[in-house]
Amino acid sequence: MSSLATVFLVALGGAVGSVSRYLLGTWIQALSKSIDFPYGTLTVNLIGCFVIGLLSQLAETRGVFTPETRALVFFGVLGGFTTFSSFGNDTINLLRGGEMVNALVNVGANVILGLALVWLGRTVAFWIWK
């Protein structure tokens, strides 16, 4: 399959994942009746982590995915649904490979640097457009 066709599969899956994230996340948030905690986002992230773990194991042990299906499901649907699932899967793969330091660096970099860059982006926007 051509790389352009694979990119199309990722885009198609991403659309499905993003719409699913929006619908499920807003539904869960409305069910929770909470304005104090992002239950919708938490639910989506946890479901995405479970699904990528389940499917990764099937891919590794049963070979159930073609490269095109992996692009559609892992990068497209799950990538659109939540990149947190990819982060979790990458970290587990590092741990399984005996890469404890790299796993910890991955967690620290994603969480600490991610939060720091959200703060920085907000700060820059505040000062530029105040």
Is the per-residue pLDDT at 1 higher than 80? no
Q: What value does the mean pLDDT take over residues 100-119?
A: 93
Q: What is the mean pLDDT of the chain?
A: 92
**Is the predicted pLDDT of residue 2 greater than 90, yes or no?**
no
The SS3 of residue 92 is helix
Q: Decide: pTM greater than 0.95.
A: no
pLDDT, tens digit, 9 for 90 and up, residues 14-67 = 999 999 999 999 999 999 998 889 999 999 999 999 999 899 998 988 888 999
The pLDDT assigned to 46 comes to 92
Helix (H) or strand (E) holding 73: none
Distance CA(45)–CA(42), nearest Å, equals: 5
Q: Which pLDDT value is given to residue 10? A: 97
Return the DSSP state at 117.
H
Helix H, strand E, coil C: the string for 55-76 is: HHHHHHHHCCCCHHHHHHHHHH
Q: What is the pLDDT of residue 86?
A: 83
